[in-house]
Amino acid sequence: MNDLHILLASGLAAYLYVISPGPAFLALFTLAASKGRRPGALFVCGHLVGDVTWGALAVTAIVGANQLGGRLFQVLGFGCGLYLIYLGAKAVMTKRDAPPRAIGSQRPLLTGLAFGLTNPKAYPVALAMFSAIVAPYVDRLSLADAPRLMGAAFVGFLAADATLVFAAGLRPVRRFFLTHGLIVTRVVGVMFIAFGVRSIAEAAAGWRRG
């Protein structure tokens, strides 16, 4: 594998996976709003362990499914696309937002580690996100390419963490997040639906090609 586009796709998938609002996202912004950027940075450092773990499993599953057979990967693409659409629809239909409690203020590093490794939705979301974005290039991949893909994904994880920590410490962003959290959730929901539709379209195109 020597295609820069594939590495960029892996990095983008990792970036979008991290910055998509979820329990850890809400916890980070609440923690940073009340305690500042340093505790927030410690939180995402701990959470990075989980991001790398679930991302590696997702990349291995995607490449492995492709090596076992195109049909298997296409079924995986359909399933992941439907899951992203489901998550997006839930976000879009959110009726009210409850400001999250600031947690982890005493031990932000350990709290972030716990969030990253114990979230039961982390793996399916990572699998769905990577499937949706890396799918156009998967026929060029083998299991030997997985380490390079994860290297690109790790850069994406770090870039996303830096973005979140920087944004979480900005006073206008904190104010907007606390006031308009519902809007943020719904916009991200639309993004998830779009990625889900793309994943299904790529799987359908692959199925027709046989």
Q: Is residue 135 part of a domain?
A: yes
Number of domains in the chain: 1
Residue 179 has pLDDT above 80, yes or no: no
Q: 208 burial class (0-12, 13-18, 19+ CB within 10 angstroms)?
A: exposed
Is the residue at 210 inside a domain? Answer: no
Q: How far from 185 is each of 1, 90, 103, 192, CA to CA, in Å?
A: 36, 10, 20, 11
Per-residue pLDDT of 188-198, as tens digits, reads 678 778 878 87
Residue 168 domain-assigned?
yes
28 found inside a domain:
yes
Q: Pick from 29, 48, 20: which is nearest to 176 by CA? A: 29
Which two three-digit tokens encode residue 140? 């060029």
Q: How many CB atoms lie within 10 A of CB 192?
A: 25
pLDDT of residue 97: 52
Determine the structural domain holding residue 99 and report its residue range.
4-205
Burial class (CB in 10 A: 0-12, 13-18, 19+), 33: buried
Please report whether residue 130 resides in a domain: yes
pLDDT for the residue 100: 46
- Give the model confidence (pLDDT) of 2-23 as tens digits: 578 888 989 999 999 898 877 6
pTM above 0.85, yes or no: no
Q: What is the pLDDT of residues 93-130, one digit of tens each?
A: 877 655 444 555 578 888 888 878 876 567 778 888 88
Confirm whether 98 is domain-assigned. yes
Average pLDDT of the residues of the chain: 79
Q: Using one digit for the tens of pLDDT, what is the confidence trace for 139-151?
A: 777 777 888 889 9
181 assigned to some structural domain: yes
Residue 17 resides in a domain: yes
